Amino acid sequence: MAIRNIRELGEPCLRKICKPVKEVNLRTKILIGDMFDTMYEANGVGLAAPQVGILKRIFVVDCGDEEGNSVPYVFINPEIIDREGVQTGYEGCLSVPGKSGMVPRAQKVKVKAFNENMEEFEMEAEGLLARCILHENDHLDGIVYVDKVEGKLYDNSELYPEEEQ
C-alpha cells in the first residue's frame, strides 16, 4: 500500500460533501489500505477519504484496545442512527496539524455502515471510539472539528509541553 498526502485545513476538498460508495472495487480496496497506512504513519486514530483528497463516504478508525492492540474498522456510507450522553474533551485532526481544541460529542453512538466487503453492520461505541466515529463522519459532510471547538484552538505545545531531558 502507499502513504497518501493528507490535505490540510483550507483545502477545498475538506469542505465538500462526499458521495456515497456504490460498490467496492479494487480501487476502493486500495484506497482503504492506503488510508490505514497513511493514518498509522501519521500516528492518527482515524482518517476520512476527503482528508486524502477523495470525495467518497469512507473513513477508517483504529483507537486500539486497552492492551494496546490494533482494532481497525472500515466505515463505508456510514449513518449515525443514535447518540446518547455528552463527553467534552480535546480533539485534534491530521488535517489541522499541531492544534487541539475542546469539542463536545455524544458519549455513546450507534452507527450503521458497510465494511470493506460491502456487508452492512451496526455498531455501538462509547468514549474515544464514539468521538472518533463522530469526528470522521463529520469529515464526510465537509465539517472539520475546528467548527465545533468551544473556546480557544490551542497549539499542542501549549497543552503538551515537551518534557525536559
Active site residues: 136
94, 47 contact by CB (below 8 A) = yes
- State yes or no: 63 annotated in a binding site: no
Does 135 show up as a binding residue in the annotation?
yes
Residue type, 40: Y
- 13 labeled binding residue: no
Half-sphere exposure of 54 (CA within 13 A, CB side): 19
Binding-site residues for Fe cation, please? 93, 135, 139
Binding-site residues, please? 93, 135, 139
